Each structure stands twice: as structure tokens, then as C-alpha cells.
Amino acid sequence: MQPARRLQQIPPYLFAEIDRKRDALVAQGVDVINMGIGDPDQPTPAHVVQAMHQAIDDPSTHNYPPYQGTKEYRQAAAAWMQRRFGVTVDPDREVVSSIGSKEAIHNTFLAFVDPGDYVLIPDPAYPVYRTSTLFAGGESYVMPLKQERGFLPDFTAIPTDVARRAKLLWLNYPNNPTGAIADLDFFAEAVAFCREFDILLCHDHAYSEMAYDGYKPPSALQVPGAKDVTIEFHSLSKSYNMTGWRVGFVCGSAVGVQALGQVKTNVDSGVFKAIQRAAIAAFQTTEAQLQALMQVYQRRRDLVVSGLQSLGWPITAPKATLYVWAPVPPGYTSTEFATLLLEKCGIIVPPGNGYGAAGEGFFRIALTVPEERVKLAIERMQQAGIRYC
């Protein structure tokens, strides 16, 4: 029995490999500090869990949900976009529910990319952009994210012939893995580029609420006219500690949303209605409740940054995301340094090149372990003599 040839082009999924390494070390009795995956360790807020309990007890949630999401959920998502960003989207034509963001990202490729089409992908980036291009038979054109540009792509560097053949342009700010942020002037530039070349701008906004020091990330849809060429992916996973619940939504361009919805009606049966009701409760989370959650990660961020700085790392604190993106010490590759931390300290971090070639020379730390474990990780590095210089 021979699997499809396309699987030969797909590398092992980075985070599945991290899980494998973790399990092997734990089996050997190693006390592993896993700072590899952005999976919040805090519980889902109590009011969301309570809404789920009540919804499960209601038999009307036990049957198939509407493919595009319940009307109440889509209205709640549209209302949240209006409150949070001042963006108006039609819940009937411009919003579709999603099973988190990952499946919606993948299905967008199936909705728009034909064999041979270009997809404009940032590098480093969430690995799904690259693998989904391969699954759809498209060709990736990489937009390097360079530190000297604030990890923002340079649209003027994209050849005109590539832009004319491109179907999708992917952005993700606040950014995974770099923690970089983008302002509305940058999004306006992206919208103008996509309008010029008839490209769908896909903004993965999974970390829209994961921000610190008073910073509030904008939406690409705040740019005037952006909705003509833009869809935005929102997930409740990180912001509300709901990674396992698998719920989110996509909004924006009616053409983009409806094409994605057409794919989804053929490949999944929607989100469990009880989870959609719980997500509606999550949208009602107060600013005070949200900031209490963010303070947990901000304290961890500060511990990681100050700890690395004490060991010589030339880094500053990111304003958003669950991650600290740091350079490896001189003389190491990303993989070599990640292996050193694993073997000498029992610390799991992904190497930067796992997110693309432009990630070489960096590693990523996830702020998803308690403060005492963060402190222990820094202590282990210090005791092992691991410094930046």
C-alpha cells in the first residue's frame, strides 16, 4: 500500500517532533522543562466552562450544527469585531465559524490555490502555510522577515511576475515565532499591494489579545477598503486558554469567506453547538478578566527576558504573543543550540530554522510554563555555563 506522493514533500510537523522528544526524555526519567509549544497552561475562564456545562445539558446542542456556524455565534463574533476593532462585518455573508484556525488556514488554500499558483509566505512563519501550499499543489514564494526591518516583509522585493501569479499573501501580526508587531500603515501597504495584483490578503490574527504593556494589536480590516481583498483568522485558543476547544472564526471579504465556507461544507460538519455557546461567553470576557490572564504571561516574559539578559543575550521584551524570539550564541546553528539546551539542561525549545530558512540563527521560547519553572530553566543554563558570548 503506497501513500500519496505528496506526503513525500511534507516534512514531519515541528511540534509533533517536539512532543516525541519530550516523551522520550520523560520515559528516561528526565525532568523536562518544555518551552516548545504555545499551549497555555492556565485553565479556561470559569464563566466559559460554566456556559459549556449549561449548553451540554441542552439537547438542542446535540445535533449537527450549521456548517457556517450558528447564527448566534456569527452575530457574537461580528459584535466582538465591532467592539474590539471598530470593524463592521455582516454575520451572514462575511463571517464563518472555524475549528480553531489551523483547519481554516489549510482549507483556504484548497479554496483558492490551483496547481502552479504562487502563495506569498513569510519566513520564518507558522509551518502550516508552507505545508498547505504543498498540499494544494501551489508554489511558495518566500518573503524573508529580517530583524533589521522589524521582521516585516518587503513587498517591493517581490518580483512583478510572481505577484501576478500569486493567489494568497499570508501575514501574521503579532507574529509567531518572532513576536513582532505591525501597525496600520504596514497593513495599508499590504492591502494596496493585494489590490494592485488581485491577491487575497490572509491575516492570521491568532494572537490579537496576547499583548502587554498596554499595547493593543490592530486588525488588518481597520484599513479603509481592506474588506475588499482581506480575510482575517481569529481563534479563541490563546487569548482565552481554549486551545483544546478548537473554535474560532474567519471574517472579511465575502468572496473569501464564502469560498472557504464552500470547502468546509464538503470536508467538515462544523463546530459542536455547545462549544459555540461557550465561545459566545468567551467573547463577553471583560477587559479586567483578560488583563488578569495577560499579566500571567507578562510576568513570565519579564523573567525570561531578564534571565537571558543576565546571561549576555542582546534582547528586548516583545510587546505581544506567547513567545520570546532570541538569537543563538555565536558559533552555533539553531539546531545545535536547541540540542545543547536539551542535552545539558533538559529544556525543550524549537530551533528557529523549524519555521523556515530565515529563522536560522534563532530559537523560540514559549511562555507556557509556571514562573518557578522559568526560573529553574535560567538556573540550569547558568549552571551549565551557557551564555550568549
Tens of pLDDT along 160-184?
999 999 999 999 999 999 999 999 9
To the nearest whole number, what is the mean pLDDT of the chain?
Answer: 95
With a cut of 80, say whether residue 14 has pLDDT above it.
no
With a cut of 90, say whether residue 140 has pLDDT above it.
yes
Match 481592506 to its residue by C-alpha cell.
226
For residue 316, the model assigns a pLDDT of 96
DSSP 74-117: HHHHHHHHHHHH-----TTTSEEEESTTHHHHHHHHHHHPPTT-
Q: Parallel, antiparallel, or unpaired: how do β-strands 118-123 and 139-144 relate?
A: parallel
pLDDT, tens digit, 9 for 90 and up, residues 241-294: 999 999 999 999 999 999 999 999 999 999 999 999 999 999 999 999 999 999
Q: 5-44+288-383, superfamily in CATH?
A: Aspartate Aminotransferase, domain 1 (3.90.1150.10)
> Within the chain, which residue ranges are assigned CATH 3.40.640.10?
46-283
The CA angle 263-269-274, to the nearest 5 degrees, is 135
- Phi-psi sector, 29: left (phi>0), alpha (psi -120 to 50), beta: left
**Which grid cell sits at 46?**
470559569
For residue 18, the model assigns a pLDDT of 67
Question: pLDDT band at 103, cuts 50/70/90?
Answer: very high
> Within the chain, which residue ranges are assigned CATH 3.90.1150.10?
5-44+288-383
Q: Parallel, antiparallel, or unpaired: how do β-strands 166-171 and 118-123 relate?
A: parallel
**Which grid cell sits at 337?**
543550540
pLDDT, tens digit, 9 for 90 and up, residues 200-220: 999 999 999 999 999 999 999
Spatial contact of 171 and 207, defined as CB atoms under 8 Å apart: no
Q: Is the dihedral of CA 174, 180, 186, 191 positive or negative?
A: negative
Spatial contact of 180 and 151, defined as CB atoms under 8 Å apart: yes
For residue 270, the model assigns a pLDDT of 94
* Distance, CA of 153 to CA of 142 (rounded, Å): 9
Closest by CA to 337, choosing from 300, 316, 362, is 362
Q: What are phi and psi of 285, to 5 degrees?
A: -55, 130
Match 538569537 to its residue by C-alpha cell.
327
* Distance, CA of 381 to CA of 389 (rounded, Å): 13
Spatial contact of 233 and 205, defined as CB atoms under 8 Å apart: yes
Spatial contact of 48 and 282, defined as CB atoms under 8 Å apart: yes
Beta-bridge partner residues of 241: none
CATH architecture of 46-283: 3-Layer(aba) Sandwich (3.40)
pLDDT, tens digit, 9 for 90 and up, residues 312-339: 999 999 999 999 999 999 999 999 999 8
Match 490572564 to its residue by C-alpha cell.
293
- Phi-psi sector, 338: left (phi>0), alpha (psi -120 to 50), beta: alpha
Name the percent of the chain lying above pLDDT 90.
90
Cβ neighbours of 300 (radius 10 Å): 23
End-to-end CA gap in the chain: 52
The CA angle 124-130-136, to the nearest 5 degrees, is 165
Q: Where are the alpha helices (DSSP H) in 214-333?
A: 254-267, 273-283, 287-310
User: Which residue has better confidence, 367 or 23?
Assistant: 367
Strands (E), the chain: 33-34, 95-98, 118-123, 139-144, 166-171, 200-204, 230-235, 248-252, 323-327, 347-348, 362-366
Q: What is the pTM of this model?
A: 0.95
With a cut of 90, say whether residue 87 has pLDDT above it.
yes
Question: pLDDT band at 8, cuts 50/70/90?
Answer: confident
With a cut of 90, say whether residue 142 has pLDDT above it.
yes
